[in-house]
Every structure is written in C-alpha cells, then in structure tokens.
Chain A
Amino acid sequence: MLRFIVRRLLQLIPILLGLSVLLFAWLRALPGGPAQAALGERATPEAIARYNELFGLDEPLIVQYLRFLGRAVRLDFGTSARTGRPVTTEFLERMPGTIELTVFAMVFAIGVGIPLGYLAARKHGSWLDSTSVIGSLLGVAIPVFFLAYLLRLLFAVELGWLPGSGRQDVRMDATRITNFYVLDGLLTREWDAAWDAVLHLILPAIALGTIPLAIIVRITRASVLDVVNEDYVRTANAKGLATSTVRRRHIIRNALLPVSTTIGLQTGLLLSGAVLTESVFSFGGVGSALYDALFARDFAILQGFILMLAIVYVLVNLLVDISYGLLDPRVRVR
C-alpha cells in the first residue's frame, strides 16, 4: 500500500515538469504581455521595456524558466503582478472557497443523483426512468456558464431569493480563521455568517453540480440495471433474504462501485477550478482568480495556480484509487 502511494507520488514529478514547460511556453505565446496588460494599450515601448526589465521579463526564456523552476520547488511561485501579493498566499486564500463550492456541488450531485438513478433503474421503462434519462442527457449537454447565468438571472436577479455573487455579504465582517467561510462561521459561532456563506454557495453549487449529477444518475442507473441481473443477486433471492437486505447488501453495494469512481473523478475536476461558474457568480475561488489572472496576463498567478491545481488533481485521483480498494476487496492493493 505504502509503496503504491509512494510510486504514485513519484509519478507526479514528470507530470509537473512537463506541465510547467507547456504552461510556461503557452503563456509566453499569448498575444500581449503582462506589461501591456498592466500599463494599458497605449503604453510607450520605453515604458514596456522598463516594466519587463523590472520584472525580469527581458531575459531569455530558458533563464526565466529555470529561475521559475528553482523557486517553484520551494513552493515559491513569485508575486502576483496585479495584487503584489505572494502567489502561494493568494492560493491558500482562494482554494478554500473552491473546496467549499466543490463539496456543496458534489453533495447536491450525489444526494440527488444516486437516489434518482436507483429509482430510474428500479422503475425501468417507466416515465420516471425516461424522464431521468432525458434529463441527464440535457444536464450533460447544457453549457455550465449558460446554466449558471440562467440560475443567477432567475433566482438572484429576478426573484431575489438567493444571493447571486460573492462568497459572503461584504457587510458581514466575519472573522476569518481557515478561509472556509462556512467552517469559520461555525467555529466562531457566528451563525449568521455561516448561514450567509451557505446561501451564497447554493446557486453556484447547483450550476456546478449539474454535470456531475447527470453523469451520476446515468451511471447509477446503468450499474443497478447490470447488477440486478447478476447471478449473486439471484443467489441472494434464492436464500429467501428480505427484499431490503437483497437491495442494500447485494444490489446497491455493488452498483455503487463504478459510481464511486465517477464521483472521485468529478470531484477532482471541480476542485481544479470551475472557471466559468465562479466567474459568473464572481465567486472568490480559484476559478475566478484564474479568469482574472488570464485577462491581466498575470503569469505568476497562472503558473502557480495551475501547477498547484495539478497537484490537487493528482492527489484526489490517488485518494480515489485508494478508496476504491477499500470498497472493492478484489482490487485491494497489498
């Protein structure tokens, strides 16, 4: 088990190296550099040259890359050109927001998706089944930013039921401990702050959770339909077990194996930043930070955030693999 984890962590190194090279090259290939973005379109060439000199952008790319790499291994990704604050600090401030959003989105997707998929399979061929199949197709097909925009327009702007931007009302003046706003509210017993943060999470979580929800419904449904016809379910029935025992122990348990993999992968995807959803709701997570940084050509933020997100993604996948072993004794790694 330990060897497996170590091996997987070592595999991270070439992945990150390759990614950093690609990232570095890609950013430099973008039209308009950080100087242009910072100084505006009408900046004089002299001003741009000064700016580049100041930030070391006039040196050969190789030198820039190696310098970046040297600092990156110490988790120092430089300072943001836009805010002047260390990238790592920015990340630690933003990531909790994205994690909170991911958790809410996945709770929504799992909480609705698994029961719905299971019911659709149980009532195979009924209206509920066909509705959920069509609905999940729609859910996968609808562009997230569009759905996010619709939700915001309807529930935040028109009806005014829920807040439509930010992570918390700015007038809250809540105490910060972990930067997980809901958690902070609970820890400091500022219940109203926690509740306000929850309200702010609802719409983005629904928008973000829709695709995972649709995928979970489909996989749960297909998987239950598969498992119901397995020989061991027939054996369970032949033993005269109560219907509830057959369902719980023999059908659902096995049917959820493929679902758990999907949940893991989707969680990894959401954690690596929901750029579109977060920017529609001006949600101060990693995604909206990336969005802002891209327009500002804030190389330091982009490089640092994307690399750190890659690490998060690989770690989440590792967790998924490990948990799969716990769920399915056949793939348990020794």
Chain B
Amino acid sequence: MNSFQGGPAGAPVLEVDDLAVTFTRRGEQSTRAVDGVSFAVAPGETIGLVGESGCGKSVTSLAVMGLLPRRGVEVTGSVRFNGQELLGARDGMLRRLRGADMAMVFQDPLSSLNPTVRIGTQVTEVLLEHREISKKEAVEEAVSLLDRVGIPDPRRRLDEYPHQLSGGMRQRALIAMSLACSPRLLIADEPTTALDVTIQAQILELLRELVVDTGTALVMITHDLGVVAGLCDRVHVMYAGKIIETADRYDLFARPRQPYTGGLLASVPRLDTGRGTPLTPIRGSARDTIPWEQGCAFAPRCDNAQDDCLTEVSGAIVPLEYDGPGRELRCRHPLTYPAAPAGATALGAVR
C-alpha cells in the first residue's frame, strides 16, 4: 500500500503492510486492536509509532515479532523482514530470527528480566543460542556488551541478579541483550517510561548512537513526543488501531495536520509559557471513540469534526491519503496553515 521507498540506506529492513490484529474471546465481542497498519523502516532509520495507551502500538510491535499468543488472536496482512514473510512462518524460523536479526527492548525493565537468573546468564543465553561460540567466549562477549551500553564494572554485574541493579542499569542490561547479535532491526517499546528523566535521556542517547554506529533500523514505540523529537526520522501517529498521520519529524512538529496530532503537541507542557498557564489537554479520553466503520474514531473528541467525518454522511471510511511530499493524512478537516507561516509554532498554529 504505502511502503516508503528510498529510506536513508536503500531497501527497507522491515515492511509492514495492512497489518490487522483481532483479539477474540469466547463469549465476548472481538476487538480489533490494530487495523490496517502499514509502515516500513530502512537500515539506519528510526521511525516512531506514537499514540496514547491502547492505540495499538505495542500490539503492532508484538505482532511484528511474532510474540502474540496464538490462541484468541488473529493476525492478518503482511510483515516482511528483508523481504521474507513472517506472518504464518514456522515457529522455528521466527526463533532463529528473533534475538539474532530482530530484537526488542521492553517497557518495564524489572519485570522483563527473569528475577531468578543471573544477568550474565541472561545475556550469554542469547549469544549461545544464535552464535557458534563457547561459553567462555560468550562470557567475554557479554562483558564487552555490558561495557558498551555503559554498565560500570561489567564483570561483577554478570554474577548479580536483576534486583541488585538500578532501574537504568536494568534497561541497559536489556538493551545489551537485544544488541548481543547485532540485529538489523530493533523495536523499542516505550523503553524509557519506567525510568526517571536523566536516565531516560541517557538511554535515548545510547539508542541513537547504536543506530548511527551499526545502521540498525529502529522502531521506537512511544507516547512521549519528547522522545520523538530527539530520535525519530519519521513519525507515524496512531489512533484507535490505525495510522492517522505520517510525517517527517520536522514537518510533524512544525505543521501537524491531524487535529489529534495537533492536540498532542499542544498538550505538551512548555517552559516558555507563563507560570500558571493551564495545560491544554485533548478533551475526552481514548475511550470516547467510535468504530472506524462508522466514522473517524477521533471525531467525538475533535474540535474540527463535521458531519462528513461520519461514514454515514460521507459514504466512505476516512482514508489515509497523500498529503504533500513524505506525508500522509487520515482526516477530512485537517488543521490548515497560512501560506508562509515563517516562525509559526505548532502551538500557535493550532489555536
């Protein structure tokens, strides 16, 4: 559909086409968590999947990695890694790819590490699984990995358990595990949410260096626009399981088109507004949504919404359409900007 050609370094590592994930449960109505999502990442490129909790961004990443449970989940569409289709692939093949060619960093570093297994074992097990090396070499490799992600005194850390490490150290250790086999694709699912701000900055810097040094394709899943601003080349904004706006980082921050994106940017607290200025949240909550079949899911919360945002009136589901070079938009009444708004800030434009 809309795979992006010509990323920074040629053919995309990952191409996701029309991915849909439906959860079915006996006796309950099935929920479509991801609904026709398409994107691509090239080597050395960082893309952001942005949206609030429950918009389907984490499910997208789990579907790409093949980590969703089999029972009660239906995944359709296409996920190609280096041109190889992953959906419906055999478990053995996925296990060979995971950890070696495609890796993932999770949200909560404490619960994502096994509490009863030493850090060393948790790092070396990836190496021993995917590479033909001896235990001794794996330990040496683990030491240099921990060192590379900025863990001081790595040799001693190998013998420690997760609870003996600080939050930042744990996330570094998890990143070390994901990097162990120099993957071509790294998916980071809100890697900094559980960490305090200074550590967040360090972790993001670490990830950025990696992309630059190794040419890894990075998919950054986040609800934090600060992370997007600092890291992502291209941003996909998701809402209720669909991508609603795609743009390069600069374009997105300068001229958000989807009212939802505009609202997200406007709701970021700023230092340059006066003290006591109230925050500007998006009204309603993510639960105030309508099925895409009935109309734009964001319409109930949208200030720009008009009658034809509903399928009933317009006769068609709101499509994701070309919106200028490198941009795509799913909106019938986007935010508009005067012809040459030199110096206009996102905040100013939305108002």
Is A329 touching B129 in the complex (CB atoms < 8 A)? no
B114 CB within 8 Å of chain A: yes
B129 touches A249 (CB 8 A): no
Q: Does A257 contact B (CB under 8 A)?
A: yes
- A245 in complex: contacting residue of B96, B129, B163, CB < 8 Å: B129
- Type the 1/0 row for A310-333, where 1 means its CB is closer than 8 Å to any CB of B: 000000000000000001111000
Is B100 a contact partner of A240 (Cβ separation < 8 A)?
yes
Does B126 lie within 8 Å of A232, measured CB to CB?
no
> Known interface pairs A249-B125, A329-B163. Does A238 touch B114 (Cβ–Cβ under 8 Å)?
no
In the complex, the answer to whether B65 meets A238 with C-beta atoms within 8 Å is yes
Taking a contact as CB atoms under 8 Å apart, the answer to whether B117 and A240 are in contact is no
Chain A contact patch, size range? 20 to 34
| B-side contacts of A327, CB under 8 Å | 116
Q: B106 and A234: CB pair below 8 A?
A: yes
Task: Report chain B residues within 8 Å CB of A249.
Answer: 114, 117, 121, 125
Residue B146 interfacial (CB < 8 Å): no
Residue on A nearest B187 in the bound complex, by CB? A238
Give every chain B residue within 8 A of A240 (Cβ-Cβ).
94-100, 126, 129-130
Residue in A235, A241, A254, A328 whose beta carbon sits within 8 Å of that of B106 in the complex? A235
Interface SS majority for chain A = helix
Given contacts A250-B114, A257-B116, contact A239 B106 (CB under 8 A): no
Q: A232 and B67 in contact (CB under 8 A), knowing A238-B103, A253-B116, A329-B163?
A: no
Asked whether A238 lies within 8 Å of B163 as measured between CB atoms, the reply is no
- From B95, B103, B174, B178, residue with most partner A Cβ within 10 Å: B95
| Distance to closest chain A CB from B125 (angstroms) | 6
Q: Judge whether A238 and B98 touch: CB under 8 Å.
A: yes
Bitwise interface map of B from 50 to 94 toward A, beta carbon under 8 Å scored 1, else 0: 000000000000000101000000000000000000000001001
Is B65 a contact partner of A232 (Cβ separation < 8 A)? no
Chain B interface, >50% SS class: helix
- Across the interface, B99 reaches (CB within 8 A) one of A230, A232, A241, A329, namely A241
Within 8 A of B (CB), among A228-250: 230-232, 234-243, 245, 249-250
Which residues on A sit within 8 Å (CB–CB) of B8? Answer: none
Which A residue sits closest to B101, measured CB to CB?
Answer: A240
Interface centre among A240, A243, A250, A328 (most CB of B within 10 A): A240
**Are the C-beta atoms of B115 and A329 separated by less than 8 Å?**
yes
CB atoms of A241 and B95 under 8 A apart = yes
Q: Does B177 contact A (CB under 8 A)?
A: yes
Residues from chain B with Cβ under 8 Å of A250 in the complex:
114, 117
Given A241-B126, A245-B129, A329-B163: A254 in contact with B98 (beta carbons within 8 A)? no
Determine the chain A residues whose CB is within 8 A of the CB of B306 once the complex forms. Answer: none
B111 CB–A CB distance under 8 Å:
yes
Q: Please determine whether A242 and B113 come into contact, CB atoms closer than 8 angstroms.
A: no
Residue positions of B touching A, CB distance < 8 A: 65, 67, 91, 94-100, 103-104, 106, 108, 111-117, 121, 125-126, 129-130, 161, 163, 174, 177-178
Extra contacts, 10 of them, besides A239-B126, A250-B114 (Cβ < 8 A), are: A231-B106, A231-B112, A232-B115, A239-B99, A240-B130, A243-B91, A249-B114, A253-B117, A328-B116, A329-B116
19 A-B residue contacts at CB 8 Å? A231-B111, A232-B112, A232-B115, A234-B67, A236-B114, A238-B67, A239-B126, A239-B177, A240-B126, A241-B95, A241-B99, A242-B95, A245-B125, A250-B117, A254-B114, A254-B115, A257-B116, A327-B116, A329-B115
